[in-house]
Chain A
Amino acid sequence: MGKSLRREEAGAAVGNGSSGLVEGTMRGSFPSRNTVTDQTRIRNFSIIAHIDHGKSTLADRLMEKTGAVSERDMREQLLDSMDLERERGITIKAQTVRLDYTASDGEGYVINLIDTPGHVDFSYEVSRSLAACEGALLLTDAVQGVQAQTLANAYLAIDAGLEVIPAINKIDLPAANPDRAAAEIVNILGGSANDIVRMSAKTGAGIDEVLETVVRDVPPPQGDPDAPLRALVFDSYFDAYRGVVCYVRVVDGHLGSGDSLRFMATKEVHDADEIGFLTPKFIPVGTLGPGEVGYLITGVKEIDRIKVGDTITEARTPATEALSGYAEPKPMVFSGLFPTDGDDFEKLREALEKLRLNDASLAWEPETSKALGFGFRCGFLGLLHMEIVRERLEREYDLDLVATAPSVAYQVTMPDGSVTEIKSPQDLPESIDRQGVAEPYVKAMILTPSEYVGPIMELATKRRGIVGNMNYLSPERVELDFEIPLAEIVFDFFDLLKSKTKGYASLDYEPADYREADLVKVDILLNGQPVDAFSAIVHRNGADHYGKKMTGRLRGLIPRQLFDVPIQAAIGGRIISRETVRAKRKDVTAKCYGGDISRKKKLLQRQKEGKKRMKMVGSVEVPQEAFVAALKVDDDS
């Protein structure tokens, strides 16, 4: 009953406030306390899993089952609303939705679910989501069984003190082996294989059981309704009309529409212009009580003024202690982005600023390259993130970009003992001008069928990995833990791993520490001129191999020009390898008489369009792809 009342208020709020924003004068016009849901009737949980194990599809079924979305509005992976998410079929940003469910005990429950991304680049989204929940539904694909992110996300949930509810998905598939998957899960979480829900997000089998298990096993929130307000901002995004929209989880007390709020970390005070919950439509309400999840709009337009992880309290009767927030996601890889047309520099800056409104993990600083001109050194969470950002910049902002080979951040100890961080190989001082260099290491975990342990060990060792534990999840599946330089795995390691294991192994990693290493900068010279954008930092033992691979690769990528183009790799002036792109000898149409002139001109014009994807580096035309593609050198290791 309480809920239906709130729906009516929602209508009133929309009707009164123009553009859906509730003005300050509306304050007090809602009965505030008597409408919030009792905490015993609230269940908050995240769906977590390895990539593609069916989280978003399960969310679809749950929304359908509980009537959150009408059949007419339903479409696959409804919560994946960004174009890129739909095209790639993956979740990039976590999404929240509130469901009303009448359980078999006859009681009505409010269920807040958060669908999370499975890709390792976006695992910080999982951590944030977990902080707003009491439970986590851990999905495992019945065909693939436990994979690296299944394990990694399960540990995240356990460490966050959440109740983890396992479920096995895709039992409809002919190759499904739910018993094996169940046994693997029991090895991680304990419990009994018989208690694990088996379901299909595709056919809908077992969905009722999922809902019942969530109601039964996810602990209800236990906030203090009488304490001062404490609510966690667990996500935010920028909306062109409404400004910054925060997703909040009320922990203690009540968050009322119109309240004057203090953001404890930023120390800013803003009014709650509108609050409400997502069904997934925005439904404004008067109050959010303890344990509830919803959104908050304050009228703030600048995304940087709201910090995700911040605690909101009431300005007049503030709480004394903030909730434990979370660390900002740290960029792991860095790449230079340069407009092909130098005039687009400002346009690129504006586009980056706009993207950042919805992607706080994106960081950049201006970078100047002798070869590529003015651009930005951008930090990304990983290669997928980098690819997505670049694609969005080019597509949504109509930019034509050259991306340089990604690198990691190094810590350089200078002669005076001070330490500076460099994010670009070209910033590495010559070896006589530094005391040392340290590189980032990660803790990596590979889950693999046991027959591939040998090849994987070999691969990891070749990449300077130090193999640690080996755990058998089942007789056939092994977890391998090791420490390895980030630079060695971030680019092509995953592809190699997949190809060495017929696609069966999966990888997860998290930052560990920095360690000193004997690193050198390998420069690439085109036509005798060093091209800063091609420089890379590599381990001394691998430098020769790298130089050879790189020059060979570039020889294949750089088209023949009007003159011979020597390509050299060098360490501090010493040439370690050399290749030559021979001058083009023939580029001519054999016949050109009266008939062909218009057609011929069109053909040449088309060839020219192709050439626009080239960047002049000195007097050499280099295809834009070369700057990144050249780095994927290790096809034989």
Chain B
Amino acid sequence: MTPTEADAYSTSAAAYVHVPFCSSVCPYCDFAVVAGRDDLVDRYIDAVCTEIMTSESWRPLEAIYFGGGTPSHIDPLLLGGVLDALSLKHGISADAEVSLEANPEDFDATRATALRSLGFNRVSFGAQSFDAGVLVALGRRHQAGQIESSVRAARDAGFENVSLDLIYGTPGETTNSWSDTLSRAIDLDPDHISCYALTVEPGTPLGRAVRDGAEAPDPDIQADRYENADKVLNAAGHTRYEVSNWSRPEHECRYNLNVWAQGQYEAYGNGSHGYRDGVRFRNIRRVDAYVRAVESGKTQRSGNDVIESWDAEIDRLFVGLRRVVGVAPGPGVTAFLTSDSGRRLLDAGVVNMVGGRLTINRPLLTDEVHRCVIDLEAPECTPTQIQ
């Protein structure tokens, strides 16, 4: 993917649909999820369709992403209904990427076929690990074998774009078990792989356990695992294009490329975040509160941030720098290069200038760069240059 191609996503139209239901909540998860509330599913999907139909119509969507929660947990027909609503409201491009997240614990041939025929063409499995001990430590309910069967089912149903999510650095994981997870993932011949460091979020059961003395992931070990993953995945033909994402050529996730190119995206469902017409907005996080708000005709929004011109430039760097291609020149890049902390990062080799673009050379230190970016100040004399 060339930088120009990556930046071109800034003009695409995308949509996110949140499906909060899971069969149980994993101890490390801090997403807007519920377990044991399947009684709410029908009302919830109705509410999402209502939200779609009452939103401002747009142009045909080029990328749609059903995330969660576990979209694969509910009846595929309900997801089909949501796609219909999106199509009615905005239209869906003929070659749109339509993704959903799926859990290997409840994915099979029937489900795969149904989803594919409804229009989904990309599936991303929460595989996490092929090590039984690690899966237990993560509180996952599936076994390694189910990952393999799920991928096979997806391929058989005609999904030409399959992705796997992996988690590294779980206490108890070893160098060998991580290598083994990587090679078993590669053996399944996915088109796309995301590798995430296990992150301890405050307020989750894992967060509380660590606070009370349980072993926390070791950042140095996680750095080792990350470097190992990059090497192994590269050798297998997967190129990294974002901090935590690798893919075969032409198989990057287009929905996410839109986000990182600071493109616009609609967002529907509880706890979802969108960005349209210069406004970042978010919905009520609790499922039941969200449903009630929509049903009663009240606003489901819980916040709006108007992104002024300089903030938009900061955001362009903030999200764009996560990509390997980095960001094109602009006032933000100039401000970065002339700031003390920016220069320090350049001197330390954490960032680089490549073909006029600012790029991060050490992806594991991205937050260090981000802390500098969020405080950049607009150059005083040239406010009109900023779009």
Contacts and interface: CB of A to CB of B under 8 A. Distances in A.
Q: Decide if A and B are genuine partners.
A: yes
Interface of A: 562-563, 584-598, 600-601, 604-605, 607-608, 611, 619
B277 interface: no
Contacts of B374: 601, 604-605, 608
Given A595-B272, A597-B273, A608 B367 contact: no
Contacts of B16: 594-595
19 contacts: A562-B344, A562-B345, A562-B348, A586-B365, A587-B366, A588-B366, A589-B367, A590-B196, A593-B256, A594-B16, A594-B265, A594-B273, A594-B274, A597-B318, A598-B273, A598-B305, A601-B318, A604-B367, A604-B371
Contact of A586 (B222, B282, B345): B222
Contacts of A608: 371, 374-375
A556 B315 CA distance: 35
Nearest to B345: A562
Nearest to B195: A590
B350 A562 contact: yes
A586 B259 contact: no
A590 B199 contact: yes
A74 to B, nearest CB: 44
A585 B223 contact: yes
Nearest to A591: B196
Interface string B243-260: 110000000000010010
Interface residues of B, number: 42
A588 B305 contact: no
B107 interface: no
B364 A586 contact: yes
Interface in B228-245: 243-244
A593 B348 CA distance: 27
Nearest to B168: A590
Contact of A585 (B244, B282, B315, B364): B364
B171 to A, nearest CB: 16
A597 B282 CA distance: 11
A611 B275 CA distance: 30
A586 B226 contact: yes
A587 B272 contact: no
B363 interface: yes
Contacts of A598: 273, 280, 282, 303, 305
A589 B201 CA distance: 11
B322 A592 contact: yes
Contacts of A597: 273, 280, 315, 318-319
Nearest to B315: A597
B274 A587 contact: no
B274 A586 contact: no
Contacts of B259: 593-594
B364 A594 contact: no
A611 B256 CA distance: 31
Given A585-B220, A598-B280, A592 B199 contact: no
A588 B195 CA distance: 13
B308 interface: no
Given A590-B196, A592-B322, A594-B273, A604 B370 contact: yes
Given A588-B367, A595-B271, 11 more contacts: A586-B197, A587-B364, A588-B197, A588-B363, A588-B366, A589-B367, A590-B196, A594-B267, A601-B318, A604-B371, A608-B375
Given A591-B244, A608-B375, A619 B344 contact: yes
Contact of B365 (A584, A592, A596): A584
Given A586-B197, A598-B280, A607-B371, A592 B319 contact: yes
Contacts of B273: 594-598
A588 B364 contact: yes
Nearest to B219: A586
Nearest to A596: B273
Given A562-B348, A591-B196, A594-B259, A586 B220 contact: yes
A592 B194 CA distance: 12
3 A-B pairs closest in CB distance: A585-B223, A590-B196, A595-B273
A600 B365 CA distance: 15
A360 B7 CA distance: 66
A607 B370 CA distance: 11
B371 A586 contact: no
Contacts of B303: 598
A611 B344 CA distance: 15
B160 interface: no
Interface in B305-345: 305, 315, 318-319, 322, 344-345
Contacts of B365: 562, 584-588
Contacts of A611: 371
B207 to A, nearest CB: 14
A584 B364 CA distance: 9
A154 to B, nearest CB: 49
Interface string B343-363: 011001010000000000001
A594 B222 CA distance: 24
Contacts of A605: 374
Given A562-B344, A595-B273, A601-B318, A590 B370 contact: no
B68 to A, nearest CB: 12
Query: Which interface residue of A590, A594, A607, A608 has the most chain B CB atoms within 10 A?
Result: A594
A594 B365 CA distance: 20
A590 B244 contact: yes
A562 B360 CA distance: 14
B368 interface: yes
A595 B274 CA distance: 7
Contacts of B272: 595
Contact of B243 (A584, A585, A588, A594): A588
A564 to B, nearest CB: 11
Contacts of A593: 256, 259
Contacts of A587: 219, 364-368
Contacts of B315: 597
Contacts of A563: 348
A624 B344 CA distance: 21
A545 B350 CA distance: 37
Contacts of A590: 196-197, 199, 243-244
A619 B344 CA distance: 8
A592 B318 CA distance: 10
Contacts of B348: 562-563
A327 to B, nearest CB: 50
Nearest to B194: A591
Nearest to B218: A586
Contacts of A586: 197, 219-220, 222-223, 226, 364-365
A546 B11 CA distance: 63
A457 B8 CA distance: 78
Interface in B361-385: 363-368, 370-371, 374-375
Contact of B368 (A562, A594, A619): A562
A589 B282 contact: no
A589 B366 contact: yes
Nearest to B196: A590
Contacts of B371: 604, 607-608, 611
Contacts of B219: 585-587
A594 B375 CA distance: 20
A334 B197 CA distance: 48
A597 B316 CA distance: 11
A584 B226 CA distance: 14
Contacts of A595: 16, 267, 271-273, 282
A596 B315 CA distance: 12
Interface string B289-309: 000000000000001010000
A584 B259 CA distance: 28
B243 to A, nearest CB: 6
Nearest to A560: B219
A596 B256 CA distance: 13
